[in-house]
Amino acid sequence: MKKKYIILATFSFFLIAIDQITKMYIHTHYQLGESTPLIPGFFNITYVRNFGAAFGFLSQSHPMFRELFFLSMPPVALIVILLILRSVADTDRWQIYALSSVFGGAIGNYVDRLRFRYVIDFLDFHLYDKYTWPAFNVADSAIVCGVGLLLLLMLKEKNSLKDENLASKV
């Protein structure tokens, strides 16, 4: 088995485990809506159920559509990630870890959707309750970090190609 697939499996498993352990702790030790300030005026642990996607997107849509959409899209996304990974060189560790992060995060949230039909969120950042960020979880963080890293890698590659083109014209 190629090393990149071993990295994908190992890193994704690690992310899924942390995600599921933290969510189960919140689910079993907190009441829905219960909140514990960890950094007063900035960060709380708050038990939230997200029936939508990121930031509650589609949470108000028809329940049948929402369930079909959220139960069918993650497997499609996982297949796309695997197809992209096929073309990634074994030596491109940053891209392998970025894709693994998105892969693991997608599975972490998918497990919640299969079990509960919603995703457990609990990381609650705000600024003295005046400016709030929607609650999220470890899987969401992994997805955002993975996508962010992929974007940075794409920008870096674009700039490298641009520099090569300029150098070849001189």
Mind listing the pLDDT tens digit for each residue in 46-72?
A: 999 998 776 566 667 777 777 888 788
Kindly state whether residue 102 falls inside one of the protein's structural domains. yes
Give the pLDDT of residue 164.
Answer: 65
Kindly state whether residue 169 falls inside one of the protein's structural domains. no
Kindly state whether residue 170 falls inside one of the protein's structural domains. no
Give the pLDDT of residue 51.
Answer: 87
Kindly state the average pLDDT of the residues 82-90: 96
Which residues form the domain of 105? 3-164
Q: Which residue has the higher pLDDT, 64 or 10?
A: 10
Annotated active-site residue 140? The verdict is yes
19, 112, 121, 124: which one is catalytic? 121
Band (128; pLDDT cuts 50, 70, 90): confident
pTM > 0.75: yes
Rg of the Cα atoms in the chain: 19
Least confident of 5-19, 53-67, 111-125, 149-163: 53-67
Kindly state whether residue 98 falls inside one of the protein's structural domains. yes
The number of distinct structural domains making up the chain is 1
Token pair belonging to 160: 């490298």
pLDDT higher than threshold 90 for residue 34: yes
Q: What is the 3-state secondary structure (H, E, C) of the chain?
A: CCHHHHHHHHHHHHHHHHHHHHHHHHHHHCCCCCEEEEECCCEEEEEEEECCCHHHCCCCCCHHHHHHHHHHHHHHHHHHHHHHHHCCCCCCHHHHHHHHHHHHHHHHHHHHHHHHCCEEEEEEEEECCCEECCCECHHHHHHHHHHHHHHHHHHHHHHHHHHHHHHHHC
Kindly state whether residue 150 falls inside one of the protein's structural domains. yes
Give the pLDDT of residue 97.
Answer: 98
Q: Please give the distance of CA 65 from its chain centroid, rounded to a whole number.
A: 22
Q: What is the separation, in whole angstroms, between the first and last Cα of the chain?
A: 44
Kindly state whether residue 160 falls inside one of the protein's structural domains. yes
19, 112, 124, 140: which one is catalytic? 140
Give the count of beta carbons closer than 10 Å to the beta carbon of residue 72: 9
Band (148; pLDDT cuts 50, 70, 90): very high
Kindly state whether residue 37 falls inside one of the protein's structural domains. yes
What are the tens digits of pLDDT across the range 90-116?
Answer: 999 999 999 999 999 999 999 999 999
Band (39; pLDDT cuts 50, 70, 90): very high
Kindly state whether residue 58 falls inside one of the protein's structural domains. yes
Annotated active-site residue 124? The verdict is no
Kindly state the average pLDDT of the residues 68-80: 90
How far apart are alpha carbons 39 and 70 in whole angstroms? Answer: 33
Give the pLDDT of residue 154.
Answer: 93
